[in-house]
Amino acid sequence: MKKNRGVKKGRIAVFFVIVAAFVALIATNVMDHANEISLGLDLQGGFEVLYEVRPIEEGQEINRDLLSDTVASLNARINVLGVSEPNVTIEGDDRIRVQLAGVTDQQAARELLSTEARLTIRDVDDNVLLDGSDLVEGGARQSFHPDTNAPIVTVTIDDANKFGDITDEIRRRTVPENRMAIWLDFDEGDSYYEEIMKEDSKIISDPSVTQTLRTRDIMITGNFTIESADHLAGVLNAGALPVELEEIYSHAVGASLGERAMEQTIFAGFIGIALIFAYMIFYYRFMGVMAVITLSIYIYIVLVVFNWMNAVLTLPGIAALILGVGMAVDANIITYERIKDEIRAGKSAMSAFRAGSRRSLSTILDANITTILAAAVLFYFGTSAVQGFSVMLIVSILTSFLTAVFGSRLLLGLWVNSRILNKRPRMFGVKEDEISEL
């Protein structure tokens, strides 16, 4: 104040460069990200199947426990498809309804769900050589054939010697009986010679064996695409279904209702955000403008992260997003109120900014950590809809911390430290007569 130091224009230039960069980034791909986000059944409609549960073996009783186990296995398989928040419900005594949102390939989804995933390796006379109990749990994966590079599925078995003995025995048989048939869902009465002729065969492949293989990894070649190989590996890892599922009804849920709901929700979201922006600028003036910039970046980052995670947006997710916006705004408000306090106490803009930022940090930290803690517990112990909520909340809080604390500070700091705001308390929403004399 004694020295008449000039305004550092460079910092203001840096500010505009940063803002211009973000505007360019957001303008170029925000719509792509927004359009890529998959929406839940409640927002966009989707695909649903109703299954009737039938026992695999005679005398198997269909009870609540068995149904619950089946639902758990189905959920594990749906994870393979990458659909989050599936809705799997038990109906009546022997039915299970599966609702999947955002599934584009309905046929693949259906096959994935209803296969029992009972993998057996048999000889040409249908005698079991290896079955599911010989496989290492979770040992299936998609990979590529070392020679042809074609997509294959590799499974791991417990005992290399067992496989060695089997291949040793098979290779001694005469052509064409030296084959191992790899079956999915072999049913009593199926036969190798009939099945291998069928177009949609239950036999994935039937390699001929010419040498003894003492290995734990079995490569299953077949007519795979990368995706179908990946699905098979996923299903094998998810485990066999304890029951047989018969599809009795399937239906694409009326999407027009969902579409309308989504349009309205997005429209409402824009209005809500516009109101928040207007209020922040009206109330915090210059600092409010900074808040608007960082909040825009916040919304953009949340969209991008959400898209990266391949998550499905549902109503609970929107709720968490709103709470996240609230907390991002709150972090700004806490900081700005502190800065205003300091200015009212007579500090200069620069030292008020520094003190306000420092003193607000622990408040914001404690409030955010407590909420993340709650969200993490909800995620760990909760189920589908609750988990969707908590994931969105955690993403929102972390992003809001990044943008509202560091982003806001960086941007406002550039202006404050340029000294252009010195002796202009009104820019911070503080009237001159509120400032107490030092």
Q: Which of residues 314-373 bind another protein (CB under 8 A)?
A: 315-316, 318-320, 322-323, 325-327, 329-330, 333-334, 337, 341, 344, 362-363, 366-371, 373
Owner of token pair 């998810």: 238
Given 38, 42, 121, 153, the residue binding another protein (CB under 8 A)? 42
x/- map, 3-32, another protein, by CB under 8 A: ------------------------------
Please say which residue, 17 or 365, places its beta carbon nearer to another protein. 365
Number of residues that bind another protein (CB under 8 A): 75
Question: Which candidate, 5, 122, 8, 101, places its Cα nearest to that of 46?
Answer: 101
Taking CB atoms within 8 Å and a gap of at least 24, the contacts of 197-205 are: 204/232, 205/181
Please say which residue, 89 or 223, places its beta carbon nearer to another protein. 89
Question: Which candidate, 119, 97, 108, places its Cα nearest to that of 239?
Answer: 119
For residue 407, the minimal CB distance to another protein (Å) is 18
Q: Residue 1 to residues 350, 401, 430: CA-CA distances in angstroms?
A: 12, 34, 20
Please say which residue, 204 or 243, places its beta carbon nearer to another protein. 243
Question: Which candidate, 252, 428, 404, places its Cα nearest to that of 347?
Answer: 428
Please say which residue, 32 or 93, places its beta carbon nearer to another protein. 93
For residue 266, the minimal CB distance to another protein (Å) is 9
Alpha helices in 172-217 (DSSP H): 192-195
Please say which residue, 16 or 283, places its beta carbon nearer to another protein. 283
Site for another protein in 237-296 (CB under 8 A): 248-249, 251-254, 256-257, 260-261, 264-265, 267-269, 271-273, 275-276, 279-280, 283
For residue 254, the minimal CB distance to another protein (Å) is 4
Site for another protein in 145-204 (CB under 8 A): none
Q: Are strands 87-91 and 181-184 parallel, antiparallel or unpaired?
A: unpaired
Site for another protein in 82-111 (CB under 8 A): 87-92, 97
For residue 260, the minimal CB distance to another protein (Å) is 7
Question: Greatest CA separation found in the chain?
Answer: 104
Contact 310, 79 (CB under 8 A): no
In whole angstroms, give the CA distance from residue 189 to residue 210: 28
For residue 323, the minimal CB distance to another protein (Å) is 5
Helices (H) and strands (E) in the chain, counts: 12, 13
Please say which residue, 220 or 299, places its beta carbon nearer to another protein. 299
* Sequence-ordered list of residues with C-beta below 8 angstroms from that of 24, at least 6 positions apart, any chain: none
Please say which residue, 60 or 383, places its beta carbon nearer to another protein. 383
For residue 65, the minimal CB distance to another protein (Å) is 13
x/- map, 110-149, another protein, by CB under 8 A: ----------------------------------------
Q: Are strands 141-144 and 128-130 parallel, antiparallel or unpaired?
A: unpaired
Site for another protein in 398-417 (CB under 8 A): none
- Tokens encoding 148: 């042809």
Please say which residue, 185 or 330, places its beta carbon nearer to another protein. 330
Contact 74, 113 (CB under 8 A): yes
Encoded amino acid at 187, one letter: D
Q: Taken in order 132, 138, 142, 143, is the CA torsion positive or negative?
A: negative
Please say which residue, 67 or 117, places its beta carbon nearer to another protein. 67
For residue 386, the minimal CB distance to another protein (Å) is 5
In whole angstroms, give the CA distance from residue 344 to residue 402: 28
Q: In what order do the strands lie in the sheet with 46-54?
A: 87-91, 95-101, 46-54, 244-253
For residue 195, the minimal CB distance to another protein (Å) is 31
* Length, in residues, of the chain: 438
Owner of token pair 């809705």: 87
Please say which residue, 115 or 390, places its beta carbon nearer to another protein. 390
- 3-class state of residue 171 by DSSP: helix
Please say which residue, 38 or 237, places its beta carbon nearer to another protein. 38
In whole angstroms, give the CA distance from residue 117 to residue 140: 12
For residue 147, the minimal CB distance to another protein (Å) is 48
For residue 326, the minimal CB distance to another protein (Å) is 4
Q: Taken in order 413, 414, 417, 422, is the CA torsion positive or negative?
A: negative
Site for another protein in 372-391 (CB under 8 A): 373-375, 377-378, 380-386, 389-390
For residue 404, the minimal CB distance to another protein (Å) is 12
